[in-house]
């Protein structure tokens, strides 16, 4: 299966299915006795020719009440069939039921690669670039390939569920988990998530879309209350999840920690039932974030199916039976919980193709994929006077300077509270190894000298006596805590901003490489000729970054999140927006910017960012010309075609990412523009290509629509629509228009 590089918001709901998954059959839940069949007709649900929903119904009907309760929460203790798994203090499995041929289901964490599963220590897997780096590739195929690796390795280590991707928005730059998400635009996030889910589930592994929903900060995430209006919730924060459900048939959704409008996400009927199942037709199951289950009956009645906790607290035998006895829940509720989870397992073949033990991993192939994605996702932010790529023949000495975390070691992302989860990578390529490797390949004898930057005088002397200085800097973003600000932190005893300024003053050929989990402020930007954003590249860090610096690979990444000039320019500049204020003893965060999040905010306020959403440079030059928008007038039911040409007018192979933004009529009350289509196109020197993108009103990202809270549906306004073609949200090149006139 090969995923396309083009994604224009036209994903047909009958296309790209993992497999022909049949619609769930309507059925009534009977009330079985506590003891069901003692000798069940196992063939009735092991028959692969029976539709998944029917198999799930038959299986649940054969279970005893005790067995059902055992299957709605994680279990503690080792897996007898898989040595080393079933970690004592961090269990991530649901114990199987041999009597009914129900397999033990093991869960592993994401989205930094496969890690934090049910086995201790973590089996070896590939440390992949972060989700933000994947989004920065602006290439759906890259996200699909990332998902393939994660799905394969989840299966290789005998796990069934990959707890990723993360679909929360980069609403504020300080969010400690921005690196785990796909940036600030819901459409770009949805595109990347859909393709990543397909890559994972193609391997017969369940993907989990998380954290549903409105969990855009880490500060007091487990108890906070998010205040967000219904329209904003649907248009921005729910939209990627809707795309994941409708376009990727995601197996599972993880409900988040916070309250939304005063009600915890995991007992929120509006979110779990009305939106997820009634509006979108979700057929899979909902699990809680770890410890996010807050009740028994209210959570079950709202639509929660699985309590994710090492040892069940709320979905225990005593609590469930007490709720049944009190009439707070019915056995039919428990049956529905199980049918939804078994449906996903049957649909992905997890009963028919058992995952029982470790299998070999193709580490060399996966390392190549990790390296290519890291290269595609790196963004050339600045490049004055051709400072990059570096030319080895002109270099005799290179200074590699920076805190050990960034310049002395491969930067692998970590997740889990305080970075408790990391990938057990097979190898890690340091920056020094990467630079020396490229020089060796090119036959250069240039000397590379490393300084950890702790002593500014030493770093200054080294920079002054070297032909070029490469400074690597960054931050450490972590689950469980937000960044205090957008400045580069003092780390490993290094004041990174001071280090960059000192080195730049000593050597005008100072190149800065950033390895960070979100936007940063750059007070030294005017002092340096070039800046390369590499995010957290993973185990192939050294190779990927060196390839880009020396032009072995042409940078093609684009920013998936805005870099503001100053923190006061961005959303989250007031305490009410972030980190929230106390109301009745609860930290309350108000999304008062409403629809004006990310580049929409800067557009509406006419604020110039440091680097806009979608920005990225190349070592070659492109021209974009000849816009044609058809038809010029429509009733809002037919696709709009946007055509133009892209030509590489430079001297080397490269990739451009033309982006289509749409301005809706004033009566719609929308931000100045929204991203609705894009394509990453690779062109040889001199090559020209005609690009044809489609804005389809029936697509799951609702490109022409806005959410009407009164009617609880998407509507399309009459009036004039403007189409913008740009290299970024801040660099519009072409514009056109069309009109929609709908009958009354």
Which residues are registered as beta bridge partners of 626?
A: none
Which residues are registered as beta bridge partners of 159?
A: none
**Between β-strands 688-695 and 640-648, what pairing exists: parallel, antiparallel or unpaired?**
antiparallel
Three-state secondary structure call for residue 589: strand
Q: 39 pLDDT band (50/70/90 cuts)?
A: low
Three-state secondary structure call for residue 546: helix
Which residues are registered as beta bridge partners of 473?
A: 514
User: What is the CB neighbour count within 10 angstroms for residue 737?
Assistant: 11
Which residues in the chain are classed under CATH 2.60.40.10? 622-740
Q: CA-CA distance, 286 to 304, in Å (whole number)?
A: 5
User: What is the CB neighbour count within 10 angstroms for residue 734?
Assistant: 18
Q: List pLDDT tens digits, range 615-662.
A: 999 999 999 999 999 999 999 999 999 999 999 999 999 999 999 999
Q: 8 pLDDT band (50/70/90 cuts)?
A: very low
Q: CA-CA distance, 549 to 445, in Å (whole number)?
A: 17
Q: CA-CA distance, 153 to 22, in Å (whole number)?
A: 27
CATH superfamily of 380-549: Glycoside hydrolase family 3 C-terminal domain (3.40.50.1700)
With beta carbons less than 8 A apart as the criterion, state whether 403 and 516 touch: no
Residue 743 confidence (pLDDT)? 75
Q: List pLDDT tens digits, range 369-402.
A: 999 999 999 999 999 999 999 999 999 999 999 9
DSSP count for the chain of H helices, then E strands = 18, 34
Q: List pLDDT tens digits, range 667-693.
A: 999 999 999 999 999 999 999 999 999
- Give buried/exposed letters for 445-455 (b at 16+ CB in 10 A, else e): ebebebbbbee
192 membership: H or E segment, kind and range: helix 186-201
Q: What value does the mean pLDDT take over residues 174-181?
A: 97
3-state helix, strand, coil in the chain (%, to 5): 30, 25, 50
Q: CA-CA distance, 204 to 227, in Å (whole number)?
A: 37
Three-state secondary structure call for residue 460: helix
Q: CA-CA distance, 286 to 166, in Å (whole number)?
A: 15
**Between β-strands 705-708 and 713-716, what pairing exists: parallel, antiparallel or unpaired?**
antiparallel
Residues near 567 by beta carbon (within 8 Å), at least 6 away in sequence: 173, 485, 486, 521, 573
Percentage of the chain exceeding pLDDT 70: 94
Closest CA to 104 of 114, 95, 115, 117: 95
Q: CA-CA distance, 645 to 538, in Å (whole number)?
A: 35
Positive or negative torsion for Cα 499, 176, 702, 721 = negative
Residue 86 confidence (pLDDT)? 82
User: What is the CB neighbour count within 10 angstroms for residue 560?
Assistant: 29
User: What is the CB neighbour count within 10 angstroms for residue 42?
Assistant: 15
DSSP class of 239: H
Which residues in the chain are classed under CATH 3.40.50.1700? 380-549
Q: List pLDDT tens digits, range 521-575.
A: 999 999 999 999 999 999 999 999 999 999 999 999 999 999 999 999 998 889 9
User: What is the CB neighbour count within 10 angstroms for residue 458?
Assistant: 13
With beta carbons less than 8 A apart as the criterion, state whether 482 and 219 touch: yes
Does the structure show a pLDDT above 70 at 319? yes
With beta carbons less than 8 A apart as the criterion, state whether 541 and 374 touch: yes
Angle between helices 456-464 and 496-506 (to 10 degrees): 30
With beta carbons less than 8 A apart as the criterion, state whether 610 and 250 touch: no
Helices (H), 389-476: 431-441, 456-464
Q: CA-CA distance, 495 to 486, in Å (whole number)?
A: 14
Q: CA-CA distance, 211 to 175, in Å (whole number)?
A: 14
Q: How far is it between the farthest Cα atoms of the chain?
A: 83
Residue 197 confidence (pLDDT)? 98
Angle between helices 363-377 and 140-156 (to 10 degrees): 150
Q: CA-CA distance, 264 to 417, in Å (whole number)?
A: 21
Rg (CA), the chain: 26
Does the structure show a pLDDT above 50 at 19? no
Residue 42 confidence (pLDDT)? 62
Q: CA-CA distance, 726 to 660, in Å (whole number)?
A: 7
Identify the active-site residue in 185, 289, 475, 482.
289
Closest CA to 704 of 668, 744, 657, 743: 668
Residue 101 confidence (pLDDT)? 93
| Cis amide leading into 163 (omega within 30) | no
Residue 40 confidence (pLDDT)? 57
Q: List pLDDT tens digits, range 280-294.
A: 999 999 999 999 999
Residue 120 confidence (pLDDT)? 86
Average pLDDT of the residues of the chain = 93
CATH superfamily of 64-347: Glycoside hydrolase, family 3, N-terminal domain (3.20.20.300)
Which residues in the chain are classed under CATH 3.20.20.300? 64-347
Q: CA-CA distance, 4 to 676, in Å (whole number)?
A: 17
Q: What value does the mean pLDDT take over residues 504-524?
A: 98
Q: 26 pLDDT band (50/70/90 cuts)?
A: very low
- What are the angstrom distances between the C-alpha of 595 and each of 184, 619, 677, 718? 12, 35, 19, 20
With beta carbons less than 8 A apart as the criterion, state whether 430 and 380 touch: no
Q: List pLDDT tens digits, range 109-152.
A: 989 999 999 998 889 999 999 999 999 999 999 999 999 999 99
With beta carbons less than 8 A apart as the criterion, state whether 145 and 200 touch: no
Does the structure show a pLDDT above 70 at 30? no
Which residues are registered as beta bridge partners of 107?
A: 161
With beta carbons less than 8 A apart as the criterion, state whether 463 and 401 touch: yes
Angle between helices 431-441 and 541-549 (to 10 degrees): 50
Length of the chain: 744
Angle between helices 331-347 and 52-61 (to 10 degrees): 140
Residue 550 confidence (pLDDT)? 98
With beta carbons less than 8 A apart as the criterion, state whether 255 and 291 touch: no
Burial class (CB in 10 A: 0-12, 13-18, 19+), 493: exposed
Q: Architecture of domain 622-740 in CATH?
A: Sandwich (2.60)
Does the structure show a pLDDT above 60 at 22? no
Residue 78 confidence (pLDDT)? 81
DSSP class of 488: P
Report residue 227: phi and psi, to 5°: -105, 110
Predicted TM-score (pTM) of the model is 0.93
Residue 428 confidence (pLDDT)? 97
**Between β-strands 510-515 and 530-533, what pairing exists: parallel, antiparallel or unpaired?**
parallel
Residue 14 confidence (pLDDT)? 35
* 289 counts as catalytic: yes
């Amino acid at each position: 299966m090969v995923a396309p590089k083009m994604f224009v918001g036209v994903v047909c709901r009958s296309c790209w299915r993992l497999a022909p998954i049949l619609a769930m059959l309507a059925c009534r839940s009977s009330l079985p006795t506590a003891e069901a069949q003692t000798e069940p007709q196992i063939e009735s649900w092991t028959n692969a020719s029976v539709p998944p929903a029917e198999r799930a119904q038959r299986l649940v009907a054969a279970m005893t009440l005790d067995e059902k309760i055992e299957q709605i929460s994680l279990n503690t203790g080792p897996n007898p069939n898989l040595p080393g798994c079933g970690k004592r203090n961090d269990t991530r499995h649901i114990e199987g039921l041999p009597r009914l041929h129900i397999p033990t289901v093991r869960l592993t964490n994401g989205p930094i690669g496969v890690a934090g599963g049910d086995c201790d220590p973590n089996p070896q897997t590939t440390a992949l670039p972060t989700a933000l780096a994947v989004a920065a590739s602006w290439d759906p195929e890259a996200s699909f390939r990332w998902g393939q690796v994660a799905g394969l390795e989840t299966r290789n280590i005998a796990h069934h569920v990959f707890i990723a991707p993360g679909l929360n928005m980069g609403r504020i730059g300080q969010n400690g988990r921005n690196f785990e998400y796909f940036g600030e635009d819901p459409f770009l996030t949805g595109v990347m998530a859909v393709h990543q889910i397909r890559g994972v589930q193609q391997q017969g592994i369940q993907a989990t879309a998380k954290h549903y929903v409105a969990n855009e900060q880490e500060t007091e995430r487990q108890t906070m209350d998010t205040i967000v209006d219904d329209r904003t919730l649907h248009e921005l924060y729910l939209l990627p999840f809707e795309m994941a459900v409708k376009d990727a048939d995601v197996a599972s959704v993880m409900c988040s920690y916070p309250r939304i409008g005063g009600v915890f996400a995991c007992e929120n009927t509006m979110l779990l039932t009305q939106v997820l199942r009634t509006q979108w037709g979700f057929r899979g199951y909902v699990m809680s974030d770890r410890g996010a289950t807050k009740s028994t009956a209210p959570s079950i009645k709202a639509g929660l199916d699985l309590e994710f906790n090492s040892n069940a607290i709320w979905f225990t035998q005593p609590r469930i039976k007490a709720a049944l006895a009190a009439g707070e829940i019915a056995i039919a509720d428990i049956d529905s919980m199980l049918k939804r989870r078994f449906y996903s397992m049957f649909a992905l073949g997890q009963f028919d193709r058992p995952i029982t033990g470790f299998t070999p991993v193709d580490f060399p192939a996966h390392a190549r994929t990790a390296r290519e994605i890291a290269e595609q996702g790196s963004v050339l932010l600045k490049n004055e006077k051709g400072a990059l790529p570096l030319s080895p023949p002109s270099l005799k000495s290179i200074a590699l300077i920076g805190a050990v975390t960034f310049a002395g070691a491969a930067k692998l992302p970590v997740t889990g509270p305080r970075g408790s989860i990391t990938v057990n990578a097979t190898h890690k390529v340091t920056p020094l190894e990467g630079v020396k490797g490229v020089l060796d390949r090119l036959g250069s004898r240039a000397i590379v000298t490393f300084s950890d930057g702790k002593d500014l005088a030493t770093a200054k002397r080294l920079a002054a006596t070297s032909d070029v200085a490469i400074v690597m800097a960054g931050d450490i973003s972590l689950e469980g805590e937000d960044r205090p600000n957008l400045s580069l932190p003092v780390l490993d005893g290094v004041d990174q901003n001071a280090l960059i300024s000192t080195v730049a003053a000593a050597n005008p050929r100072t190149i800065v490489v950033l390895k960070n989990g979100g936007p940063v402020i750059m007070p030294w930007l005017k002092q340096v000729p070039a800046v390369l954003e590499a995010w957290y590249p993973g185990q192939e860090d050294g190779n990927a970054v060196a390839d880009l610096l020396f032009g072995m690979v042409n940078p093609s990444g684009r920013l998936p999140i805005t870099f503001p000039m100053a923190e006061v320019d961005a959303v989250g500049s007031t305490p009410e927006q972030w980190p929230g204020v106390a109301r009745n003893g609860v930290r309350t965060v108000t999304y008062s910017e409403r629809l004006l999040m990310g580049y929409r905010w800067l557009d509406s306020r006419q604020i110039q960012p440091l680097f806009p959403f979608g920005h990225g440079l190349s070592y070659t030059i492109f021209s974009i010309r000849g816009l044609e928008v058809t038809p010029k007038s429509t009733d809002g039911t037919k696709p709009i075609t946007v055509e133009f040409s892209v030509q590489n007018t430079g001297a080397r192979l490269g990739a451009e990412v033309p982006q289509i933004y749409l301005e809706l009529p004033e009566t719609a009350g929308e931000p100045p523009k929204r991203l609705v289509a894009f394509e990453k196109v690779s062109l040889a020197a001199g090559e020209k290509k005609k690009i044809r993108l489609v804005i389809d009103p029936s697509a799951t990202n609702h490109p022409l629509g806005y959410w009407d809270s009164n009617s609880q549906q998407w509507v399309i306004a009459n009036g004039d629509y403007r189409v913008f073609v740009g290299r970024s949200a801040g660099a519009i090149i072409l514009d056109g228009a069309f009109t929609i006139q709908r009958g009354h």
